[in-house]
Structure 1
Amino acid sequence: MWDVGLASMFKERDNKGKTGPCIGLVMNVTPLKISILNGEVTLQGEHLYMADNLILKQGDEVFIIPTESEQTFFITNKAKKVGG
Structure 2
Amino acid sequence: MSYDTDLAKEMKGRDNESYIGVIVGIVAKENPLTISIYNGAGLFTGDNLYVCKSVTEYKIPFSLNGYEGATVTGTITHEGLKQGDRVAVIATEDNQKLFVIDKLS
TM-score by length of 2: 0.59
Cross-structure match for 2:24: 23
Cross-structure match for 1:65: 90
Cross-structure match for 1:77: 102
- The CA deviation at 1:12 is 8.3
Unpaired runs of 5+ residues, structure 1, are 1-10
Distance, in Å, in 2 between the alignment partners of 1:27 and 1:75 is 13
The structure whose residues are more often strand, as a share, is: 2
Higher relative contact order (CA closer than 8 Å, sequence separation 6+): 2
Q: In 2 relative to 1, CA 62–14 (structure 1 residues): closer, same or farther, beyond 3 Å?
A: same
Alignment RMSD, CA only?
1.9
Q: In 2 relative to 1, CA 32–16 (structure 1 residues): closer, same or farther, beyond 3 Å?
A: same
Moved over 6 A (4+): none
* 3-state DSSP of counterpart to 1:58: coil
